[in-house]
């Protein structure tokens, strides 16, 4: 019921010798680190936003309890599965509007794949097509002859594509059924960025100040929020990402130490930086 994933991030020392990382948007596309960086001026985040969250989807078939929308809810604990692993099973996404698509990540779910460590594993093979109108399609990714065993398969397009629809079609699976826990599309959507979060209510537990409860009003057109926090102004080295929530309970703070918080709102168009607040 859980997964372990490793993240690699550039590390920094501040003027006081504190070691820290910037993990904000850490599971969105990042640029490779090629040398020394300035934390205040540089970022490895590409700025490509998630376009696929809770979008309208359909599929060639579905197992009971594994409906198509479970592939676009950003929850690794559930997934869509076709009724088989046969060639021709497909999954279709409607972004709702034409957007600039830069990259696609497919996290396969291995439904009913009863393999052991001694079995020879064949890779997933598939094709992915894109369309502006749902009628005229172009090939985006052709892995019909794929030889790489990649259960979490990320592909960056050579150039951004203006698309509304994306369709993945099964060619073959290693075992079991064609199933996806995450169909993630990254790029830039149309429209304005969300409004900034300027009001935040912060309550530290009186009995144990290691716990803080935060709440804030909904930001217009926001898909989600990143809560940044730290022990000094401008040193908000920790962050938590949230979807569809306007409150957060934080445990593990330092007892009796004031904290500073900032909540950034984001949507398909980008990230709107919030206003920094202090708790005592």
Q: What is the pLDDT of residues 19-34, one digit of tens each?
A: 998 899 999 999 988 8
Identify the pLDDT of residue 8: 85
**Nearest of 114, 112, 101 to residue 167 by alpha carbon:** 101
pTM, two decimals, is 0.94
- Give the per-residue pLDDT at 35: 86
Please provide residue 262's backbone torsions phi and psi, each rounded to the nearest 5 degrees: -145, 135
CA 128 to chain centroid, in Å, comes to 20
Cα distance between residue 245 and residue 215, in whole Å: 9
> Across the chain, what does the average pLDDT equal?
94
- pLDDT value at residue 41: 74
Pairing of strands 49-50, 179-188: antiparallel
Query: Which residues lie across from 91 on neighbouring strands?
Result: 59, 168
Rounded Cα gap, residues 228 and 262, in angstroms: 5
Nearest residue to 267 via CA among 193, 164, 196:
193
On the question of pLDDT at 230 being above 60, the answer is: yes
**Is the model's pLDDT at 1 over the cut of 60?**
no
∠ CA 225-67-91, rounded to 5°: 90
What would the pLDDT profile of 143-183 be if each residue is shown by its tens digit? 999 999 889 999 999 999 999 999 999 999 999 999 999 99
Q: Is 218 helix (H, G, I), strand (E, B) or coil?
A: coil
pLDDT at position 94? 98
């Amino acid at each position: 019921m859980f997964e372990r994933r490793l993240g690699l991030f550039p590390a920094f020392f501040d003027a006081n010798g504190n070691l820290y990382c910037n993990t904000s948007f850490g599971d969105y596309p990042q640029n490779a680190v090629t040398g020394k960086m300035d934390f205040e001026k540089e970022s490895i985040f590409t700025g490509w936003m998630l376009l696929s969250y809770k979008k309208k989807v359909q599929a060639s078939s579905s197992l009971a309890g594994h409906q198509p929308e479970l592939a676009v809810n950003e929850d690794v604990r559930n997934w869509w599965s076709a009724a088989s692993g046969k060639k021709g099973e497909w999954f279709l996404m409607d972004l709702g509007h034409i957007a600039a698509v830069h990259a696609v990540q497919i996290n396969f779910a291995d439904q009913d794949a009863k393999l052991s460590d001694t079995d020879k594993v064949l890779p997933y093979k598939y094709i992915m097509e894109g369309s502006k109108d749902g009628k005229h399609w172009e090939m985006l990714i052709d892995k019909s002859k794929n030889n790489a065993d990649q259960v979490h398969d990320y592909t960056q397009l050579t150039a951004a594509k203006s698309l509304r629809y994306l369709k993945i079609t099964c060619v073959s699976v290693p075992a079991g059924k064609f199933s996806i826990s995450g169909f993630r599309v990254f790029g830039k959507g149309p429209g304005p960025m969300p409004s900034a979060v300027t009001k935040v209510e912060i309550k530290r537990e009186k009995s144990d100040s290691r716990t803080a409860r935060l709440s804030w009003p909904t930001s217009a057109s926001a898909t989600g929020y990143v809560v940044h926090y730290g022990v000094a102004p401008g040193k908000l080295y920790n962050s938590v990402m949230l979807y569809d929530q306007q409150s957060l309970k934080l445990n593990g703070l330092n007892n009796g130490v004031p904290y500073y918080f900032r909540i950034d709102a984001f949507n398909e168009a980008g990230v709107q930086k919030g206003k920094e607040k202090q708790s005592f």
